[in-house]
Amino acid sequence: MTNSNLTLTLIGGPTVLIEYDGIRLLTDPTFDPPGEYKGAHSPVVHRKTSGPAISVDQVGPLDAVLLSHDHHFDNLDNSGRALLPNVGVTYTTNSGAERLGGNALGFAPFETRTLEGKNGKRLFVTATPARHGPVGIDVGDVVGFALGVKEPGDLLYITGDTLWFSGTEEVSRRFSPKVVILFTGAAEPKGRFHMTMGSEDALEAAAAFPEASLLAVHNEGWGHLKEDQDQLAHVFATFNLPDRLIRFDKGKPVAFAV
């Protein structure tokens, strides 16, 4: 049986173009230029420091958007929000779907739906648990996503904005993805606690998914991100794991035979 290619292109921040067997998906769409912004449903002001590698007009047709949450501007900006009506479906949290309306479809962690692409091919899409900060911090609902071909979660796991916690560990027990996209950056909007994965969380993920290829995103382009890809790679090298983390540069597609 001939393998299919999974191609991932980092556009910037949390925004990744996913192409598999003719199906095209996009994570957390952010295409606005640098500047200061505030989301529609959050008081947090985000400072964007660099723009996307690919413009929204260059992305092309999409079968779906995988939106971890709609209420933080660094995960859904003005241009990304304008894009959503032109997409087949937007998968997100239940609360996010209520706010967005239109083609937004919400689901709970470990709920699975079947996505049929414009070409008739199908993927399983499963929502996965996410905790966007330490216990006691309530920033609203967030989900990650697991994509499957023959069964749920056997292709790709996208963590969304989360720390490593019991919910992400449960993902590793249920699914065996070939590739894992970690939302890293050790986001630190205020105080000394992290809101997204830092190097320690990424090392936990490496141990939990020993057979998967790992890529890190959401570690550049915003002022509240404190750990970039080079720093993360240095930690992996320090722990004798340099080959576990694949370099993921903006605008340069990475392909996997899966």
Residues 6+ apart with CB under 8 A from 118: 22, 61, 63, 88
Q: What is the DSSP letter of 222?
A: B
**pLDDT tier, 190 (very low <50, low <70, confident <90, very high otherwise):** low
Q: Give the rounded percent of residues in the chain with a pLDDT score beyond 70.
A: 94
Among candidate residues 253, 176, 249, 187, the one with its CA nearest the CA of residue 212: 176
b/e burial code for range 103-126 (CB count within 10 A of at least 16 → b) = bbbbbebbeeeebebeeeeebbbb
The pair of three-digit structure tokens given for residue 236, joined into one six-digit string = 């992996």
The Cα 225–Cα 21 span in angstroms is 33
> Do the beta carbons of residue 189 and residue 195 sit within 8 Å?
yes
Domain CATH number, residue 122: 3.60.15.10
Q: What is the pLDDT of residues 110-127, one digit of tens each?
A: 999 999 988 888 999 999
Report the mean per-residue pLDDT for the chain: 92
Number of domains observed in the structure of the chain: 1
Residue type, 135: V
| Structural domain harbouring 160 | 5-257
